[in-house]
Every structure is written in structure tokens, then in C-alpha cells.
Amino acid sequence: METTEQVKQIKRSFRLYMNGITSTSMRRKGLDYKINWGVSQMDLRHMAEQYGKNKALAVALWQEDIRECKILATLIMPVNDFTASEAMEWAATLLTVEMAEMVVFNLFQHMNEAEKLSLMLFENDDKLVRICAYNLVCRLLKRNNECAPQLYATLFEKAAIDLKSADRQLLHPLVNCLDYVSSTDREQAKEAVQLLKAAGFDAF
């Protein structure tokens, strides 16, 4: 089946899983998409298993302004065939915090170039891209991947700036990331604690 037909088939199948109550609730919370069927994460993962890893299909789905299409795209993109540059292109099109979280959890953290991608994300001043950066660094550390000194330095440099923000959506992943660093036995823990305290946050 051609990619175009697969996309059409997938979009039709969302009607079987749609949840109007969930969709309405998400809109009220500010999660606005052109189309949102309210399909659960579990159902989307089951759908992804049916299609397997498919880069062409993932790219086509990401281009759709539909919540479920984008989440499916993050689940079926082959991580070994997805570059940091391509990931940056996806990050540049993000419109919601939910998707910034989903793309990191489902895809970015598993990439071979995840650390390189983190540095690239930090170079962008867009709030959602920066949210991706903090979430990605935190996920890499939690997976026991020791980060290079350059990434720690960049994390602390950007955090010192962003901690002055009043935007809770940005502060949430930032503080979570620094909290995690501060709770480890890594030599960078002390600097994370100092940053948090200087900004009025208590480290764990």
C-alpha cells in the first residue's frame, strides 16, 4: 500500500478510537490541534505496532495537523534512520507542550545522535524547542547515559537564563532537569543546586 493510502487509512481508523470527552478536556486545557480525536496513548501504541517502523509513513504523518497522526509518527519513525538535523526540522514545527514531550519520550531519547540533538535544541530560542532540550537531557541522564562536559555546560548556561522566565511551561521541565542533576552523585550536582537556589527553587 502506498504511503498516501496508508495515511488515509490511519485517519479513517481514528473514528473507531475517538473519545470526545477527552478531546474536549484537552482543548479546555489549551491543547489545541486542528483535529484531535482524543485517542488514548495505549490505543495509539497498538496502532503503531500494526504498521511497524516506517520512515516514509512517519514523515507523512508528522506533516498532518492532527494530534494522533503526529504521535503515531513519533512511534513508527526508525530511530537509526533519523538524524539530528531531521529531528530539528520536526522540533521547529511543534505547536503544543504535549507534543514536545511526546516527541522526546517516544523518539528523540532513543536516537543515536540524541546528545548532538540536545545541543542543537538549546541553540534555538523557541519555547517549545527549549522544552524539548530540557526534557531530552533529563531523559538521557535518567537512562544512565553520562553526558559530555559540553552538554552540561550548555545546560547550565541556558538554565541560568531561562530560570528568570515567568513561563511555567518552560520552567517545569527546566527545574525537573536541574532537580535530577542535583540529586545525583555527579560532580555537576553542586552547580545545579546553586542555580536552583539562586532562582528561588529548592533542590531535592
pLDDT at 99: 94
Please give the radius of gyration of the chain, using alpha carbons only, rounded to the nearest integer: 18
Please give the Cα distance from 135 to 173 (Å, whole number).
6
Q: Report the run of H or E that residue 100 belongs to, with start and end.
A: helix 97-106
Q: What is the pLDDT of residues 37-80, one digit of tens each?
A: 778 889 899 999 999 999 999 999 999 989 899 999 999 999 99
pLDDT at 40: 85
Q: How many residues does the chain have?
A: 204
Q: What is the pLDDT of residues 121-162, one digit of tens each?
A: 999 999 999 999 999 999 999 987 678 899 999 999 999 999
CB contact burial 155-168 (16+ within 10 A = b; e otherwise): bbebbeebbeeeee
User: Which residues, at least 6 apart from 68, have a Cβ–Cβ distance to it below 8 Å?
Assistant: 14, 36, 37, 39, 44
pLDDT at 203: 54
Q: Are 128 and 102 in contact (CB under 8 A)?
A: no
CB atoms < 10 A from the CB of 202, how many?
10
Please give the Cα distance from 74 to 65 (Å, whole number).
14
